[in-house]
Chains A and B, each alone.
Chain A
Amino acid sequence: MVLTKRIIPCIDVDLDDDGNPAVYTGVHFEDLKYTGDPVEMAKAYNQLGADEFVFLDITASAEGRETMLDVVERVADEVFIPLTVGGGIRTTDDIKETLRAGADKVSITTGALERPELVNEGARAFGSQCIVISVDARRRFDEEGEHYTEIDGESCWFECTKKGGREGTGIDVVEWANEAESRGAGELFVNSIDKDGTKDGYDVPLTTAVCDAVDTPVIASSGCGGPEDMYEVFTEANADAGLAASIFHFDEYSIGDVKEYLDERNVPVRL
């Protein structure tokens, strides 16, 4: 056997009207729909064979952060698989606090783009294995990039964005992936603004470009609509892990369905 491909449910944690943690999931670009209690969802997915969890604090507020740490503590005490936690992490103290609550890894997006030394500091203090650098990539078809990929006959590069895609940075994703790796990132978490919420598959050219550029493991994210999308990103882009949210949260496919589909096609998974 070999190292298996990881199937990771993503749990976006927000606060409900009473200030309690709640998972909300976007439905076809429309309103977020209440999906459940994060701790209960984690326990259920663990039973179903999730290989790991990503928890994202989507409140980006001090209050949300406190709540998130509490959720992480409660999950870590009951679920014995790896937990990655992201959202608003900007300092080594944030990293420390999150790891202490029971996270195994922290996912950092803006905090690292704005101050790349944070990657070195985090890796030095806590080890590369717990520093996940997350990118929110956007396709650009102009002349301003550094690393180009052909998409439908057009030359495309990928730009790192901030604030969930609302703000560009001009930084080339491939360039940044290389830099993050050399600064000590232990894993790369690749989101696509173009694919997010579409359910028509991962951004395979993007994931391929990142996987080809680095030696660290890569988590593909955004756009998963079913097992065939996972298959595509594992076999074509060589991603190490596939992340999905709504297909699991809305019971369109179970983790078991996805793994069975992959196993039948000789993609190694933990059954």
Chain B
Amino acid sequence: MSHQSVSSPPDETLASVVVVDYGLGNLRSVTRGLERAGSEVTISDDPDAFVEADGVVLPGVGAFREGIENADSIRDDLLAVADRGQPLFGICLGMQMLLTTSEEGETDGDAAVQGLDLVPGTNVRFAQGQKVPHMGWNELQVERDHPLVAGVDGQYAYFVHSYYAVPDDEGAAVATTDYDLEFPSIVANEAGNVFGTQFHPEKSGETGLQILRNFVEICAEE
């Protein structure tokens, strides 16, 4: 067994992953990170590509309403990914989109925007008086077993967000992080195949690459 650092390029491709391109954000870093973690990456919004992939990544930066609206045409296809039991990994806004709704979508008196509801719950804004966005490196406290978090308890990850997830089921929190209050920094559904990180693993150095590697290994087992 070689003890190769996850930051070194892998020797072989372990799984094929689709990074969902729904017109938001820069996909370069997440793509390179996933490649570094041992996956072959296709950037696509084609539902057929989702079906064939070993796993699907829903990235995203920006606002909840815009994210949901942009992803509207592939909404049913993302739900189908989850339904088939394929790994579906939401990152940052992509994680928030896994929930049912968000306070962020309620601006301007518009009706609440419906998220994917794969992890039932709401995204709420940090309280007044706190520095917002919560930006920088903060600690992950693993709350329960999940293959995504192997080897990362107590490590630091890079966060940039103004809203945080409040799942209806407290058990959905795989890891929590302390920013005056404790919020879920990693969530997962009951079946375990749908999960998300509030932080950016592709910007979290070695710890982030470890999480991407764990994800690729989850995909490889499918």
Interface residues of A (CB under 8 A from B): 1-6, 46, 51, 73, 76-78, 80-82, 99-104, 126-130, 186-187, 215-217, 240-241, 270
Contact = CB atoms under 8 A, between A and B. Distances in A.
Nearest to A128: B133
B45 to A, nearest CB: 18
30 contacts: A1-B139, A2-B138, A2-B180, A3-B138, A3-B179, A4-B138, A6-B136, A6-B137, A46-B205, A51-B136, A76-B28, A77-B32, A78-B32, A80-B32, A80-B36, A80-B205, A80-B208, A81-B205, A100-B26, A100-B28, A101-B28, A102-B26, A104-B160, A186-B135, A186-B160, A187-B135, A215-B129, A215-B130, A216-B131, A216-B133
B85 interface: no
Q: Pick from B36, B162, B205 the residue with the most CB of A within 10 Å.
A: B205
Contacts of B129: 215
Interface of B: 7, 26, 28-29, 32-33, 36, 61-63, 129-139, 156, 158-162, 178-180, 202-205, 208-209
Nearest to B130: A215
A127 B61 contact: yes
A3 B29 CA distance: 23
The secondary-structure label for the interface of chain B is mixed
B70 to A, nearest CB: 13
Given A3-B136, A82-B158, A129-B135, A76 B178 contact: no
Contact of A80 (B26, B62, B136, B204): B204
The 5 closest A-B pairs by CB, nearest first: A1-B139, A127-B62, A270-B137, A270-B156, A129-B160
Contacts of B63: 127
A129 B133 contact: yes
Contact of B136 (A4, A73, A99, A104): A4
